[in-house]
């Protein structure tokens, strides 16, 4: 019987997995995951990866197969494994991340030398990066027409059930997951992550069902309110491919809703993810090089103390601190607050967006090179479709608008919890007796703002003018 390797990457699932289905259709398979040093995952991602692999291995074992774990250079490992097993083919999901595309080129070369086929299947995304072109055959630079093209062209593929049985062929040597030491130990900072998440395919489906049942209807109204749990929190599950984009799309289309706006807005967010991957496909250095060239000359500041205050959630600006602490505690941050905290770093502090991108990369369980880089560039004003340069978020006004009852700030900045709603986003404006009554002493129990918001804004505008961004 024909044997093939099914090489799992960012598609850690059994259902709706076209690579797995194709392998099984042609005969027996050996499922394998390679921990390649070329993947520069951050700490939170490694925590997720450990648990997701444990879950996938369990799901494989329940079907009679062993998930083979190997560490090292993917090209050497995949080619050698395929050769020793006498495999006819290797099946994998298509990759869009630059490091995986490089790895794939090397793997394709090695397999070709041995006359072994390398099939890559659409898996993580709705389209291949080169598939969507504008009317003149060029690349879209703006979200809205790109999104329109996606909605016109996409139909989710029919469900592919998880196989009942995968079966086992000859025992193949595997590393032990624990030996990879992906989990943090000294110190173990992962308690908040474990409380918040259930990595793995089952957890992903539970999350989707809960969201569709409870939040889809009001998604468009609730998605900007960080104090409510109105978004899907599917991002890490989607990033690791524990649930297929097709499955999410299908279920959203089929969900019973009373308001079409909730569904449409949610599908559009999924297309934002697609747009980020598309930008990365066409700009392989998206995480380091600004799409607008003049931003290379931006007079960024080197301010390690302020950077550290931002990272630790001690800037003295409540909504910024709440967001940075949510990130640190849970490995995730609400989208509205990602925009506020990122804007504060690159505009009010004038610290390079790449520095913020790197911190998010290390801390986010959904760290995704496409979505992270595209979003940071968007906030900084140097990306595709970026906000106008003069739109500088005022974190106090953002807080008042999107966290009007201060629920979000109270949750993550408990030392401000007793302040009344009117001043919780700007405690420095509160009268002394109000601060005293709430047990707040600025500079002692909670920091004074590290920057005056008006001067920070003026400094950012001056810098943007300097590089030629004026009205």
Nearer to ligand FAD, 295 or 360 (CB): 360
55 annotated as belonging to a binding site for a ligand:
no
Q: Is 197 a catalytic residue?
A: no
Q: Is 372 in the site for ligand FAD (CB under 6 A)?
A: yes
233 annotated as belonging to a binding site for a ligand:
yes
* Candidates 272, 394, 415, 428; catalytic one: 272
Nearer to ligand FAD, 31 or 98 (CB): 98
Residue reference for tokens 């659409």: 122
Nearer to ligand FAD, 270 or 382 (CB): 270
* Candidates 300, 394, 418, 428; catalytic one: 300
Nearer to ligand FAD, 364 or 426 (CB): 364
Q: Is 51 in the site for ligand FAD (CB under 6 A)?
A: no
* Candidates 353, 359, 361, 378; catalytic one: 353
| DSSP letter string, 309-350 | HHHHT-SS-HHHHHHHHHHHHHS---HHHHHHHHHIIIIIS-
Using CB under 6 A, which of the segments 66-74, 97-105, 143-151, 364-372 binds ligand FAD? 364-372
Dihedral angle of Cα 377, 379, 382, 386, to the nearest 10 degrees: 110
Q: Is 243 in the site for ligand FAD (CB under 6 A)?
A: no
Q: Is 347 in the site for ligand FAD (CB under 6 A)?
A: no
Strands 117-121 and 3-8 turn out to be unpaired
| DSSP letter string, 58-108 | HHHHTTT-PPEEEES-HHHHHHHHHHHHT-SEEEEE---SHHHHHHHHHHH
Backbone angles phi, psi at 338, to 5 degrees: -60, -40
Q: Is 269 in the site for ligand FAD (CB under 6 A)?
A: yes
Q: Is 224 a catalytic residue?
A: no
Q: Measuring CA to CA, which residue among 400, 397, 396, 398 is closest to residue 449?
A: 396
Site mask, ligand FAD, residues 222-241, x = CB under 6 A?
-x-------xxxxx--xx--
For the record, the structure tokens of 77 come out as 């490992």
Q: Is 269 a catalytic residue?
A: yes
Spatial separation of the C-alpha atoms in residues 273 and 286, rounded to whole Å: 14
Burial of 244 (0-12, 13-18, 19+ CB in 10 A): buried
Give, rounded to a whole angstrom, the gap between the first and last alpha carbons of the chain. 68
Nearer to ligand FAD, 28 or 330 (CB): 330
Residue 277: CB minimum distance to ligand FAD, A: 9
Q: Is 376 a catalytic residue?
A: yes
Q: How many residues bind ligand FAD (CB under 6 A)?
A: 27
235 annotated as belonging to a binding site for a ligand:
yes
For the record, the structure tokens of 192 come out as 């908040």
For the chain, the 3-state helix, strand and coil shares in percent, each to the nearest 5, are 50, 5, 45
Residues at the interface with ligand FAD (CB under 6 A): 223, 231-235, 238-239, 269-270, 272-273, 276, 335, 338-339, 342, 360, 364, 366-368, 371-372, 375-376, 379
Catalytic sites, residue numbers? 269, 272, 300, 335, 353, 376
């Amino acid at each position: 019987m024909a044997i093939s390797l099914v090489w799992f990457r960012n598609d850690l699932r059994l259902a709706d997995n076209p690579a797995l289905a194709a392998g099984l259709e042609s005969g027996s398979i050996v499922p394998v995951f390679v921990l390649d040093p070329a993947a520069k995952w951050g700490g939170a991602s490694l925590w997720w990866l450990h648990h997701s692999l444990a879950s996938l291995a369990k799901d494989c074992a329940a079907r009679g197969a062993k998930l083979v774990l190997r560490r090292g250079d993917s090209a050497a490992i995949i080619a050698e494994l395929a050769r020793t097993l006498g495999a006819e083919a290797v099946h994998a999901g298509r990759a869009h991340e630059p490091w995986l595309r490089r790895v794939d080129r090397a793997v394709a070369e090695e397999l070709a030398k041995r006359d072994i086929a390398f099939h890559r299947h659409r898996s993580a995304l709705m389209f291949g990066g080169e598939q969507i072109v504008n009317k003149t055959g060029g690349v879209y630079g703006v979200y809205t027409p790109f999104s329109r093209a996606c909605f016109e062209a996409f139909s989710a593929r029919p469900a592919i059930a998880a196989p009942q049985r995968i079966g086992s062929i000859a025992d193949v040597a595997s590393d032990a997951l624990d030996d990879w030491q992906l989990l943090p130990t000294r110190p173990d900072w992962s308690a908040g992550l474990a409380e918040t998440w259930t990595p793995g395919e089952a957890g992903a489906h539970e999350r989707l069902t809960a969201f569709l049942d409870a939040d889809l209807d009001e998604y468009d109204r609730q998605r900007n309110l960080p104090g409510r749990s109105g978004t899907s929190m599917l991002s890490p599950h989607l990033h690791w491919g524990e649930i297929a984009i097709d499955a999410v799309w299908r279920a959203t289309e089929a969900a019973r809703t009373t308001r079409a706006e909730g569904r449409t807005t949610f599908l559009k967010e999924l297309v934002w993810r697609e747009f980020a991957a598309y930008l990365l496909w066409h700009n392989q250095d998206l995480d380091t090089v600004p799409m607008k060239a003049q931003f290379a000359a931006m007079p960024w500041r080197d301010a390690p103390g302020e950077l550290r205050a931002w990272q630790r959630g001690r800037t003295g600006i409540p909504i910024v601190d709440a967001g940075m602490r949510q990130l640190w505690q849970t490995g995730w941050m609400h989208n509205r607050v990602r925009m506020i905290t990122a804007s504060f770093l690159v505009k009010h502090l004038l610290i390079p967006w790449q520095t913020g991108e790197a911190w998010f990369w290390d801390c986010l369980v959904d760290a995704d090179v496409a979505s992270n880089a595209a979003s940071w560039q968007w906030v900084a004003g140097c990306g595709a479709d970026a906000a106008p340069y003069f739109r500088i978020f005022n974190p106090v006004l953002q807080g008042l608008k999107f966290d009007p009852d201060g629920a979000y700030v109270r949750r993550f900045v408990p030392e401000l919890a007793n302040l009344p709603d009117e001043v919780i986003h700007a405690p420095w404006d509160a009268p002394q007796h109000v601060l005293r009554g709430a047990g707040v002493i600025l500079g002692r129990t909670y920091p004074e703002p590290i920057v005056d918001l008006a001067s920070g804004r003026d400094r950012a505008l001056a810098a943007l003018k300097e590089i030629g961004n004026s009205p």
